[in-house]
Amino acid sequence: MKKEALLAIDNVEIYPVISFVLYGLFFAGVLFYISFKKKSTIQKMKDLPLD
């Protein structure tokens, strides 16, 4: 059935792998981004709703 059909597409198992790599890179990016934010900016952002 369908699974055999999928195996017929070259290297179908690459799709899940791509997704994890993408996610890993992306997540690292976000972590990097927030860890380099200045405390003062963070504080300013935090207080926005209360202004």
Partner 1 sequence: MSLEVFKYDNRIVRNFAFATMLWAIVGMLAGVVVAFLMAFPQLLESIGLHTEFTSFGRLRPVHTNAIIFAFVGNGIFTGVYYSLQRLCKARMFSDKLSYIHFWGWQSIIVLAAVTLMMGYTTSKEYAELEWPIDILITIIWVVFGWNMFGTIIKRRESHMYVAIWFYIGTFVTVAVLHLVNSFELPISFMKSYSWYAGVQDALVQWWYGHNAVAFFLTTPYLGIMYYFIPKAANRPVYSYRLSIIHFWALIFIYIWAGPHHLLYTALPDWAQSLGVVFSVMLIAPSWGGMINGLLTLRGAWDKVKTSPVLKFMVVAVTCYGMATFEGPMLSLKNVNAIAHYTDWIVAHVHVGGLGWNGFLTFGMLYWLIPVLFRTELHSKKLANTHFWLGTLGILLYAIPMYWAGFTQGEMWKEFTATGQLKYGFLETVTNLVPFYILRGIGGLFYLSGAIVMVYNLIKTAKQGSFEEETEAQALALKDQEEHGAKHWHSWFEKRPTQMLIGSLVVVLIGGLVEMVPTFLVEENVPTIASVKPYSPLQLEGRDLYIKEGCNSCHSQMIRPFRSEVLRYDPQDLEYSKAGEFVYDHPFLWGSKRTGPDLAREGVTNPDAKWHYVHMLDPRSTSEGSIMPAYPWLLEKQLDTSKTRDKITAMRTLGVPYPEGFEEIALDSLQREAQGIANELKKSQINTYADREIIALIAYLKKLGTDIKVKDK
Binding site for partner 1 (CB under 8 A): 1-6, 8-9, 12-13, 15-16, 18-19, 22-23, 26-27, 30-31, 33-38, 41-42, 44-51
Structure tokens at 44: 């300013």
CB 24 → partner 1: shortest distance, Å? Answer: 11
Give min distance, CB of 21 to partner 1, in A: 11
Q: Which two tokens stand for residue 14?
A: 């690459």
User: CA of 46: how far to CAs of 4, 26, 34, 40, 42, in Å?
Assistant: 52, 24, 14, 10, 6
Residue 10 beta carbon to partner 1: minimum distance, rounded to whole angstroms: 10
